[in-house]
């Protein structure tokens, strides 16, 4: 049975640990000078080397050689996820009083220590505060925020960093060369980015992909994309180019195609963020798009949020053939006889447009048209009656590409925020041309415009602004 690559290439000494030199250098100097603390706390994201460093540190404190299979009676590793009760900690305290069998120190490694229960933390606290001379605790966690401050304050804390993609690619290339795995540099870059700063995850992905191909066939970027459910890089670039150039048609067609191919909108959002991050230094105007796509993962309808973010930015971007610049000053018309009919024709067109909108409120406006609240409400009334019963009672404000709905009470806010209702709302906004807006609901009436009325309402405990017909 073959050994997993992440275990085979696990670091065996502090000097072999990659990407955490700010920690390993300090620990190496402390061990060399004999300055051993009674408790260490290793924190950071998953797969960056916390457990490996804990095991290496335990062996180097005692001057023992370390391999992945090595065991020692005086180095005890405890998984707090399955041994998190107060009885488990009491048993640990009793055994900790016993002297080491053969090593200088008895070392307890408690992995995922944040999983301990509150009574278990209380039981551990006394031993951490006044440990026997022969005891060293090494605590490791991915969620330091869940640890009591009393525990953290009694340890030496070391914060591990996410692995930089450059370090991950270099380490993956070393492993690939050692294992005779043929893989393209672009594929390694994709693996490193998808692992999100985790060495263990990136090595596991390489191991998985190596089993999918023949030893003589290279692992290509397209194979990585297909295996991990990623959109092709060309598609990602096409989406960003279309949003940047204001080509809404290409943008929507490309997005529909890639989502129809089964690509997750959250995965596509992550790929777009990474691509934007590479562009942002040269094109800071893309920052608003970056900010919008960040919210895709938080949305209950990520596909609609992604469409809103990309198409909204596209609508605000002038087409490539019309670069953004200060509008040219129009020369006054020299032919007065011609100017008057043109003006009358334009006015007629505008009047016809207004009449058509009144007769057919369900007509879809173009993505570049201004937001039309009445058209949205009319469309909702015709297609989503239940949503209309709530939306028609709301007031609205448009600011910074955000539609704020004042629902007057928490009940209506809860209704609109419901995934079913919000899906209908976004679909209706899309159908009436408002791609670019995000929705924010407020469970209160709108703020009063008149400052004196607002002051009176504040004293009286609230109020609603109404319009009174003078007639």
* CATH number where 185 lies: 1.10.8.60
Residue 98 lies in a domain: yes
> Do 57 and 75 have their domain in common?
yes
21 and 92 in one domain? yes
Written as one string, the DSSP assignment of 319-331 is PTTS---PPPPPP
Helices (H), 97-220: 118-129, 149-152, 165-178, 185-194, 199-210
- Based on the fold, state whether residues 305 and 367 are members of the same structural domain: no
Q: What average pLDDT score do residues 439-456 get?
A: 71
Q: What is residue 336's predicted lDDT score, i.e. its pLDDT?
A: 42
Q: For residue 426, what are the domain limits?
A: 362-442
* Confidence at residue 317, expressed as pLDDT on a 0 to 100 scale: 56
DSSP string, 18-45: -S-HHHHHHHHHHHHTT---SEEEEE-S
Which DSSP symbol is given to 267?
H
Average pLDDT in the chain: 80
Partners of 399 in the beta sheet?
Answer: 402
Q: Mean per-residue pLDDT for 126-135?
A: 86
Q: How confident is the model at residue 363 (pLDDT cuts 50, 70, 90)?
A: very low
In a domain, 460, yes or no: no
The pLDDT of residue 124 is: 86
Question: 3-class DSSP state for residue 303?
Answer: helix
Domain total in the chain: 4
pLDDT band at 331 (very low <50, low <70, confident <90, very high): very low
Looking at the structure, do residues 204 and 249 belong to the same domain, yes or no? Answer: no
Of 74-83, 132-141, 181-190, 211-220, the range with the lowest mean pLDDT is: 211-220
Looking at the structure, tell me whether residues 10 and 154 fall in a common domain: yes
Mark whether 111 and 185 lie in a shared domain: no
Together in a domain, 112 and 175? no
Indicate if the pLDDT at residue 415 is higher than 60: yes
- Residues 97, 125 share a domain: yes
- On whether residue 181 sits in a domain, the answer given is yes
Across 361-461, the runs of DSSP E, i.e. the strands, are 395-399, 402-406, 438-442
Question: What is the distance, to the nearest Å, from the Cα of residue 315 to the centroid of all Cα atoms in its chain?
Answer: 25
Residue 97 pLDDT: 84
362 vs 106, higher pLDDT = 106
> Is the same domain home to 81 and 190?
no
Q: pTM of the entire structure?
A: 0.59
The reply to whether 333 falls in a domain is no
Res. 352: pLDDT tops 70: no
* Least reliable range by pLDDT among 225-239, 253-267, 351-365, 394-408: 351-365
How does residue 451 score in pLDDT terms, banded at 50, 70 and 90?
A: low
DSSP-derived pairing of the beta strands 135-141 and 402-406: unpaired
């Amino acid at each position: 049975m073959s050994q997993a690559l992440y275990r085979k290439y696990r670091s065996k000494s502090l000097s072999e640990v990659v990407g955490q030199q700010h920690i390993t250098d300090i620990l190496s100097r402390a061990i060399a000078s004999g300055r051993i603390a009674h408790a260490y706390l290793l924190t950071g994201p998953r797969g960056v080397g916390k457990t490996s460093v804990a095991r290496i540190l335990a062996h180097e404190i005692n001057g023992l050689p370390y391999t992945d299979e090595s065991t020692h009676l005086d180095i005890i590793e405890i998984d707090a996820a399955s041994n998190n009760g107060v009885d488990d900690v009491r048993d640990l305290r009793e055994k900790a009083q016993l002297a080491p069998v053969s090593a200088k120190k008895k070392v307890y490694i408690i992995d995922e220590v944040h999983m301990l229960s509150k009574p278990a933390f209380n039981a551990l606290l006394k031993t951490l505060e006044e440990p026997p001379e022969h005891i060293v605790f090494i605590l490791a966690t991915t969620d330091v925020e869940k640890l009591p401050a009393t525990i953290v304050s009694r340890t030496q804390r070391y914060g591990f960093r996410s692995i930089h993609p450059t370090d991950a690619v270099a380490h993956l290339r070393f492993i690939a060369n050692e294992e005779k795995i043929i893989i393209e540099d672009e594929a390694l870059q994709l693996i490193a980015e998808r692992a999100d700063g985790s060495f263990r995850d990136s090595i596991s992905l390489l191991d998985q992909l190596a089993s999918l191909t023949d030893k003589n066939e290279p692992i290509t970027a397209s194979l990585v994309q297909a295996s991990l459910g990623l959109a092709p890089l060309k598609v990602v670039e096409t989406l960003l180019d279309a949003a940047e150039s204001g080509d809404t048609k290409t943008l929507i067609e490309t997005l529909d195609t890639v989502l129809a191919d089964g690509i997750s909108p959250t995965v596509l959002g992550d790929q777009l963020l990474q691509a934007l991050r590479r562009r942002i230094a040269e094109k800071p105007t893309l920052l608003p798009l970056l900010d919008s796509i960040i919210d895709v993962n938080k949305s209950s309808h990520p596909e609609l949020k992604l469409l809103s973010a990309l198409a909204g930015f596209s609508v605000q971007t002038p087409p490539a053939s019309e670069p953004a610049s200060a509008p040219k000053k129009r020369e006054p018309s020299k032919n007065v006889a011609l100017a008057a009919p043109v003006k009358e024709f334009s006015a007629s067109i505008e009047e016809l447009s207004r009449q058509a909108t009144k007769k057919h409120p369900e007509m879809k406006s173009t993505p570049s048209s201004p937001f039309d609240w009445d058209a949205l409400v009319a469309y909702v009334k015709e297609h989503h009656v239940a949503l209309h019963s709530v939306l028609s009672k709301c007031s609205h404000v448009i600011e910074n590409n955000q539609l704020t709905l004042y629902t007057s009470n928490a009940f209506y806010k809860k209704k609109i925020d419901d995934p079913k209702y919000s899906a209908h709302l976004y679909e209706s906004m899309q159908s009436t041309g408002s791609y670019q807006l995000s929705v924010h609901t407020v469970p209160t009436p709108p703020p009063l415009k008149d400052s004196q009325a607002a002051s009176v309402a504040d004293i009286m405990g609230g109020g609603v602004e109404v319009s009174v017909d003078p007639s």
